[in-house]
Structure 1
């Protein structure tokens, strides 16, 4: 993991949020290319629009489960290519149809624009494909996946059978817990989180009690599908998954928080060089696979 941390830092140095948006995107794309794992043989993919939003579909075989994936990147960086190998491998290992969504990024698109893109894509996918739906996302993509699930619970009743959130940012209290304990963690600091939120808002004040912006600020946590939050221990966002799962269980739902020791934010990319990071990704895939089958393998 230290080799991974050092290699990422050499490509996307600490404090990169001080660079221009164009420089941040170029550096992030370099990181994605260096750690790209390729697509497994047999997985087909093509680009298509859903709800007017660019998307990429991955298929291995016929499936009655469609997983909608929202990529991370702080709502500032990332695209269909940045998580191409992640989505292709999830498709290969589960057999589920995967549709990645290229929602608009800040500062060009600010809230609620990114949510509107995600919601438009989700509703179009729900109309285009029969069967079960799941949502997954990492980091800022986890924020958006959870926001869509909250908004959809009374609009697409029974269709969503699970959500899998990978080191998500959910709008918790940034003055305590992991935000303090891991304020200066590798690859994402608490100050970085604040920067990305400000970019997402375009400098505006955060909305209050808006679950589409910050799922932890929603007033209602009942009626949500089975949820697995998988966090990296050394990450200011680690406690977000714990708080969120506690709220879902208190409201009578099924939720499991898995905090993986020794991992850092963005460790999905380390799975090719770190056995522990490969295990982290195994945990993600196993959760997706189980929820897609309607199984709950947790105590």
Structure 2
């Protein structure tokens, strides 16, 4: 039997680590027009991969769209290998295959799994559910080609960060319902799992008040991104927490940042999954804002280590 997940006090209090970092690096809040937000993009990592290869290819998207995927494959023979299908974040509005290239490299190198990073079309130009369906088309493509890669179709993990975590939770439920594909694990890094307008009244979502003015993603930024995405609040394709049945979902790993409006999304989903009998592991990072793991912080390295450990837990189940 799993131990209940404890929610420590004071999670929103900004950590000394972030206070010191922000003295030297200005990280603007994710507020503004889509055009302004897209200008915040960091330069891509152009260093050559060591111990693995990277290939970017075109694959089918939703409704005739041609999508992009990036395949990270270990050089060392270790077959059949597990596969991690990864979905980047960005509020369904920003982000691309470069956004989380670093963590995809880390996963591939550290676990020797093949990583399939999927792009998708962004709102508001392509509102809900277009991006979601692009990812689903990419998932189906990946499963159709796994055996040709020489990989193990019984050891496929779906994961993502923020909006990518939301898409992961939604598609893990869809996979269980449709039985078209099957995952041995799902990775939810700082996910949104329920629209703020659909939060169950009996659950604690004080994180939105606690982090109304948090760094990186203040609470108004969540509303902004959801307005761009245009998803109906009670639709489980944006609010997977509202699904009536969660049993039968794969092993789940959730990362939670304390100074993040989405903090309580992670706790609420972890609790509901546990009550449904789903094995759950959670990592909590007090006092750090949304997306901190994408920045050069000591705890970012710890979050990567926690992620790799969780992937091993899923693969070796």
TM-score band w.r.t. shorter chain: 0.7 to 0.9
After TM superposition, give the deviation of residue 39 of structure 1 in Å: 6.0
The CA deviation at 1:2 is 2.9
- 1:233-282 deviations in Å (ceiling 9; x for gaps): 11111111110011111112112232122322111222xx4222211221
Aligned to 2:247: 222
Partner of 1:24: 37
Residue 57 (structure 2) aligns with: 48
The higher radius of gyration belongs to 2
Give the Å deviation of 1:64.
2.7
Q: Post-superposition shift, 1:112?
A: 0.9
TM-score by length of 2: 0.82
Unaligned 5+ segments in structure 1 are 295-299
Structure 2 distance, partners of 1:38, 1:6, is: 28
**Does the CA-based 8 Å contact 2:86-2:117 persist in structure 1?**
yes
Matched, 1:64 2:81: yes
Paired position in structure 2 for 1:297: none
Aligned-residue CA RMSD in angstroms? Answer: 2.2
**127, 133, 137: which is aligned to 2:156?**
133
Alignment-derived partner of residue 111 in structure 2: 94
Partners of 2:70 and 2:181 in 1: how far apart?
Answer: 25
The SS at the match of 2:144 is helix
Q: Deviations over 1:199-226 (max 9, x none)?
A: 111xxx6252x32222112222111001
Q: Is the 8 A contact 1:63 1:97 kept in 2?
A: no
Partner residue, 2:290 = 265
Report matched runs for 1:1-299 at 5 Å: 1-6=18-23, 10=26, 13-14=28-29, 16-18=30-32, 20-27=33-40, 29=41, 32-33=42-43, 38=47, 40-52=49-61, 53-60=67-74, 61=76, 62-130=79-147, 131=153, 132-156=155-179, 159-171=182-194, 173=196, 176-201=205-230, 206-208=232-234, 210-270=235-295, 273-294=296-317
TM-score, length-scaled by structure 1: 0.86
Distance 1:212 1:124, change over 3 A: same
Q: Matched residues in 1 for 2:24 and 2:94: separation?
A: 19
| Structure 1 stretch displaced more, 227-236 or 52-61 | 52-61
